[in-house]
A and B are shown apart, each in its own frame.
Chain A
């Protein structure tokens, strides 16, 4: 066993940190003890199950299993991001499509250019990072677009009343939502390594790879995340715009549900 990877005894020892958190929460009367325990147990069981399935996929199913795994992750990510934008018609379909487009395009380019190897051991972790990033930023843009459609109805209708198309009338609001969604990923790309060591690089260093090799992987990962997020967000925005307006360039009324 690699000395850098903790054994099961080490994992059990780390439970003491969860216990410490529960004690702190209890002493501060936060009433979060049960939730923290549930989250920690759930995370452990989920990761154990994922590890077991990955073992099977790596050994027996090849690339077909790997892409099946990614498709399942995409569907789950679409559900999660879509639920965040409750009240926006078709949000789940939009989010799933956006995550799928961002993931497929980014991974596709990296595989075709042979930047990453077409092996389950590579495709699944790399794809997982892409799906996760795309999901996060897709949720942000969907929430923003829904809120813009609710709060800026008068502004949008003022433009429509002057004969502007739905796309032109909504363009300032779309731009604002896109900027809000993309600025965090741009900022994290700018500050990568300065504020914290990113995940892929950390993992490689912990696994014994020398830092200069690890950064090559991290650079690819960062660019991959940047492109996937941008593509997912743009796809989500374009699809949402179609849902928000009808064929007569009218902003559809949205059900008045409070955001979650």
Chain B
């Protein structure tokens, strides 16, 4: 998907700086996250990718600058409503209940069993997984259950921190396929990734961070050509 002249931005960062104690985590970042596209945040460890992701659902607050969602500054939104619209899936899968179905019902208590099974199936998990104990889940399965738990809330924007870092090739493919389907259905997805091949496979827009600064942005092909030219 072309970014220039593409869909209007759903999330906008204007000169965002995040400073914690003496550490500068983000330094004057200005960027736009287009609606209905997959934006990927890349860069070395400590570049500020996860901080940027956490800004978007107000887990972090900018020290300077502003973040807006659908044209309104984030503080103007009811924060609980915002987090249901802009869901975050953390890098480390954390299961909170004893049963997979209960896990999917944390943010959506009225979710019925069939819908839960369908959600899990979409992520490449067998339909029987809905009745399983969470204690028996592998790391990759737990990651996908956490993704399903966030999708159960039916967010408009999905923020995912390294969703496939603990997955095998089969599970990675399933998660990438789901991200592609979600974007095709109009969802905005922001993904932190270290995997250059994955960026080429699923990114519509790439934001490259280094030392808290946005050093490049554009389509995956443009970023790849820039890096090859270095």
Partner of B59, one of A159, A160, A163, A164: A160
Does B83 reach chain A (CB closer than 8 Å)?
yes
B191 contacts the other chain (CB 8 A): no
Which of B75, B80, B89 is the most central at the interface, judged by chain A CB atoms within 10 Å of its CB? B80
B139 to chain A, nearest CB (A): 14
B146 at the interface (CB under 8 A from A): yes
Cross-chain contact A163 with B107 (CB below 8 angstroms): yes
The 10 sampled A-B contact pairs (Cβ below 8 Å) are A155-B96, A157-B59, A161-B57, A162-B83, A162-B84, A162-B87, A164-B106, A164-B107, A248-B61, A248-B79
For window 125-176 of A, CB contacts with B under 8 Å fall at 154-155, 157-165, 172
| Residue B33, interface by CB 8 Å | no
**Which of the four size classes fits the interface of chain A?**
10 to 19
In the assembled complex, the Cα of A128 lies from the Cα of B191 at a distance in Å of: 59
A249 within 8 A of B: yes
A163-B81, A163-B84, A249-B79 given; A158·B146 CB < 8 A: yes
Contacts of A160 on B, CB cut-off 8 Å? 59, 83
A15 to chain B, nearest CB (A): 54
- Residues of chain A within 8 A (CB-CB) of B61 are 248, 250
Contact (Cβ within 8 A) A161 B150: yes
CA distance A165 to B75 in the complex (A): 16
Chain A nearest Cβ from B166, distance in angstroms: 15
Does B222 belong to the interface (CB within 8 Å)?
Answer: no
Query: Most chain-B Cβ atoms within 10 A of its Cβ — which of A154, A159, A161, A249?
Result: A161
Q: Do the beta carbons of A248 and B58 come within 8 Å of each other?
A: yes
Q: Tell me whether B80 and A249 are in contact (CB under 8 A).
A: yes
- Give Cα A163–Cα B57 distance, bound, in whole angstroms: 10
For the A-B complex with A154-B92, A161-B57, A162-B149 known, give 9 more contacts whose Cβ atoms are closer than 8 Å. A158-B96, A158-B146, A161-B88, A162-B84, A162-B106, A163-B153, A248-B61, A248-B79, A249-B80
Contacts of A249 in B (CB 8 A): 79-80
Given the interface contacts A158-B90, A158-B146, A248-B58, does A163 sit within 8 Å of B96 by beta carbon? no
Residue B94 at the chain A interface, CB threshold 8 Å: yes
Question: B146 contacts which chain A residues (CB < 8 A)?
Answer: 158
A161 with B80: CB separation less than 8 A = no
Q: Separation in Å of the B86 CB from the closest CB of chain A?
A: 9
Which A residues are CB-close (under 8 A) to B59?
Answer: 157, 160-161, 250
Complex: A164 Cα to B149 Cα, angstroms: 13
Query: Is the beta-carbon distance between B89 and A161 smaller than 8 angstroms?
Result: yes
| CA–CA, A154 and B83, complex, Å | 16
Instruction: Chain B residues near A154: list those with CB within 8 A.
Output: 90, 92, 94
Tell me the bound Cα distance from A165 to B150 in angstroms.
16
Give residues 160-201 of A contacting B (CB, 8 Å): 160-165, 172
Q: Which of B74-131 contact A (CB under 8 A)?
A: 75, 79-81, 83-84, 87-90, 92, 94, 96, 106-107
B90 touches A161 (CB 8 A): yes
Task: Say yes or no: B106 contacts A159, CB within 8 Å.
Answer: yes
Give chain B nearest CB distance to A235 CB in angstroms: 26
Quote the shortest CB–CB distance from A229 to chain B (angstroms). Answer: 29
Complexed CA–CA distance, A248 and B106 (Å):
20
Note all chain A residues with C-beta closer than 8 A to B80: 163-165, 249
Q: Measured between alpha carbons, how far is A157 from B87 in the docked complex, in Å? A: 12
Residue of A nearest to B97 (CB): A172
Chain A, residue nearest B75 (CB): A248
B57 contacts across to A, CB distance below 8 A: 161
